[in-house]
Amino acid sequence: MHDVHVAIIGAGFTGIGAAIRLHQHGITDVVLLERADTPGGTWRDNHYPGCACDVPSRLYSFSFAQNPGWSRKYSGQAEIQRYLCGVADTYGITPRMRFGHAMHSARWNDRTQRWHIDTSGGTYSARVLLLATGALSDPAWPAIPGRDEFAGPAFHSAQWRHDVSLAGKRVAVIGTGASAIQFVPAIQPQVGALTVFQRTPPWIVPRHDRAVSAFARFLFRAVPGLQSFVRGVSYVAHELTFLPFRYRRIRQVTRHLALRHLAAQVADPVLRARLTPTYDMGCKRVLVSDDFYPALTKPNVRLETSAIERIVPNGVRTQDGTVHEADVLIFGTGFRPTDPPLAPFVTGRDGNTLADAWRHTLSAYASTTIHGFPNLFVIPGPNAGLGHSSMIYMIESQIAHLVAALDHMARRAIGALEPTRDAQHAWTREVDARMQHMVWVEGGCASWYLDRGGRNSTLWPGFTFAFRRAVTHFRPEHYHGVPVTSAATSPIVS
């Protein structure tokens, strides 16, 4: 058994960022357990054509590791992964990574005050466990009858088959979410025929992507503070885009702008009507794209809005009885943010799993720690997601909470730390009270933001600076700490 102070599950933005911050605060006995053979998290796993971030790169990056060399306003998947690998190398984190270590289970031991973690690469014991697997790591498959009956290649966008040629093929795409609106324009020029199955039209606003000139990159390197200034301007601009989610009158303005974008790119009134959402803007995720609408107007593309009845060997049958023939089937059906895949395999103080604790809804104190699960941190956690700005800002806020908690444990010789039940319930009640005024509750639609209990346990209902103010300040009175026991200080045999 390998004995470490902090075990981090996942080597994406959270895992790498947390390891760096812990090292900077003198906590160097850290290991990152990664199931894949390279770092990158969602930016390693999602490599479909056209994959890119929908937040400007200047903002979607670590505050302590700004990159003056971004090639585009919205950088693509490969460039973001290279950035992450470079940051890990620069800050000396790469040697702490253990690849091919998929976590099978993690169990808290009250006697030793440690987490015992079983992975595909060995067993570990850790004082502190950080789940840094993110919400976009495991694909969601739709419950469509006959999904295994399709005779040709079928795959999810998060598991893209680059060995499958689409040239001249009849391709069926199920879903029109954030991934689909990126890969549909990318594959449209090469396929023979493309049928896009849409259940609910998304609200789409212009992306305004562009290349960053060589001169601009030179200035970012040469002029001290320039990049931080531009990042600050971008941050403020994105904070303002939160307002439509909260205020209906402002939402009407953004709705008008989105409809103008649709009208400018789709001339056909019939197609335009099928692409016009009937629910309140922001109730589902608002998407950004300059090329999705134009791709749907191409002669080799057809938008199908009839409900799918089942998948058949030669295509997709809709409820009107039509079989839409296809050679390749691609699912752009998103992920499982309200059904964390590792939750059934993390067992806390009383023998309950995270899945048990989250049976009705996902909740955590400060979106980071959970009553009944000592020394466990989840980043990003429940209600830490965003619909308007950079998740890296939220992740860094939660990492600050982690560092403060570990510092408190060290100063007070605490062996086991967990939030009180009252503190966690109070946090959740406050989040829910704020949520009542948001479009995600008032908008009249079902979205992946909502968990099985109908609660929005995904998004933060406020400005990001309010989240940082609430999360980064560690409050010992909201935690229950148990002093280090003699068993916890005993040597652990490897």
Tokens read off for 399: 């990492």
Under DSSP, is residue 215 helix (H, G, I), strand (E, B) or coil? helix
Mean pLDDT of 383-408: 96
Query: DSSP for 259-284?
Result: HHHHHHH---HHHHHHTS--SPTTSS
Tokens read off for 245: 């989610």
The pLDDT assigned to 418 comes to 97
Q: pLDDT (tens digit, 9 = 90+) per residue, 181-191?
A: 999 999 999 99
Q: pLDDT (tens digit, 9 = 90+) per residue, 201-239?
A: 999 999 999 999 999 999 999 999 999 999 999 999 999
User: Do the Cβ atoms of 317 and 310 come closer than 8 Å?
Assistant: yes
CA-angle at 137, arms to 190 and 377, nearest 5°: 160
Give me the CATH topology for the region 2-138+336-489.
Answer: FAD/NAD(P)-binding domain (3.50.50)
Amino acid at position 235, single letter: Y
- Helix and strand totals (H; E) in the chain: 16, 20
Place of tokens 């791709």: 295
Angle 391-412/13-24 helices, nearest 10 degrees? 40
Mean pLDDT of 351-378: 96
Q: pLDDT (tens digit, 9 = 90+) per residue, 1-36?
A: 899 999 999 999 999 999 999 999 999 999 999 999
- What are the phi and psi torsion angles at 483 (to 5°)? -60, 155
DSSP secondary structure code for residue 95 in this structure: G
Q: Is-same-fold flag (2-138+336-489; 147-202+285-331)?
A: yes
pTM of the model: 0.94
Largest Cα separation within the chain, whole Å, is 74
DSSP secondary structure code for residue 418 in this structure: E
**Closest alpha carbon to 38 in 66, 23, 21, 16:** 16
Q: Is residue 337 very low, low, confident or very high in pLDDT (cuts 50, 70, 90)?
A: confident
Q: Collect all residues with Cβ–Cβ distance below 8 Å to 473 and sequence separation of at least 6.
A: 404
Per-residue pLDDT at 494 exceeds 60: no
The span from the CA of 310 to the CA of 207, in Å, is: 34
Domain ranges of the chain: 2-138+336-489, 147-202+285-331
Mean pLDDT of 243-258: 93
The span from the CA of 157 to the CA of 293, in Å, is: 19
Under DSSP, is residue 471 helix (H, G, I), strand (E, B) or coil? helix
The pLDDT assigned to 134 comes to 84
Q: pLDDT (tens digit, 9 = 90+) per residue, 413-455?
A: 999 999 999 999 999 999 999 999 899 887 667 787 888 888 8
Q: How many Cα atoms occupy the beta-carbon half-sphere of 82 within 13 Å?
A: 10
Q: How many Cα atoms occupy the beta-carbon half-sphere of 190 within 13 Å?
A: 10
The span from the CA of 195 to the CA of 186, in Å, is: 14
Q: Is residue 492 very low, low, confident or very high in pLDDT (cuts 50, 70, 90)?
A: very low
The pLDDT assigned to 443 comes to 66
Terminal Cα distance for the chain, rounded: 4
Mean pLDDT score of the chain: 94
State the CATH class of domain 147-202+285-331. Answer: alpha beta
Q: Where are the alpha helices (DSSP H) in 331-420?
A: 354-357, 391-412
User: Do the Cβ atoms of 431 and 438 come closer than 8 Å?
Assistant: no
DSSP secondary structure code for residue 39 in this structure: S
